[in-house]
């Protein structure tokens, strides 16, 4: 889950005592805003202990421009030439091995 706006996260966690574990953060969010995008985003946090709301926000996947169309996002992924792009953001072709492994999944 990628968020475009972190304001709700900051509001939800504003009264939480830090440091807090991921489990504590998710439980706090569930008590305040159950079933929301903010709760789902917080549940995607990596395991660990967070020292502040800022640390939590830095650990969340943020969508830098939610107004981009899917084709614009794909174009940016394919033509991105900056080092340090996260592996899950890279557009890659499936290897022949993956094709072979998934060939048996297809129904005739």
Q: Specify the number of domains making up the chain.
A: 2
Cα–Cα distance for residue pair 72/43, rounded to 1 Å? 28
84, pLDDT greater than 90: no
Question: 64 in a domain, yes or no?
Answer: no
Claim to verify: residue 44 and residue 81 sit in the same structural domain: no
At residue 3, the pLDDT reads 62
Higher pLDDT, 6 or 17: 17
Domain shared by 55 and 83, yes or no: no
pLDDT in tens, 26-38: 999 889 888 888 8
Give the whole-angstrom CA distance, residue 70 versus residue 48: 32
The answer to whether residues 53 and 12 belong to one domain is yes
Do 54 and 79 sit in the same domain of this protein?
no
The answer on 78 and 53 residing in a single domain is no
**pTM confidence score:** 0.56
pLDDT confidence band for 64 (50 / 70 / 90): low
The one-character DSSP state at 49 is E
Q: How would you class 83 by CB atoms within 10 Å of its CB: exposed for 0-12, middle for 13-18, buried for 19 or more?
A: exposed
pLDDT at 66: 64
**Is 85 a member of any domain?**
yes
Exposure string of 42-69, with b = 16+ CB inside 10 Å and e = fewer, is beebeeeebeebeebbeebeeeeeeeee
Q: Domain of 55?
A: 7-59
């Amino acid at each position: 889950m990628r968020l475009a706006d972190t304001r709700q996260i900051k509001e939800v966690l504003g009264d939480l005592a830090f440091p807090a574990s991921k489990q504590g953060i998710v439980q706090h969010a569930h008590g305040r805003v159950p079933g929301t995008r903010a709760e789902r985003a917080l549940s995607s946090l990596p395991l660990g202990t967070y020292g502040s709301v800022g640390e939590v926000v830095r650990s969340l996947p943020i969508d830098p421009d939610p107004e981009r169309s899917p084709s614009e996002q794909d174009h940016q992924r394919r033509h991105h030439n900056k080092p340090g792009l996260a592996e899950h953001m890279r557009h890659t072709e499936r290897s022949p091995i993956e094709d072979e492994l998934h060939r048996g999944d297809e129904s005739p």
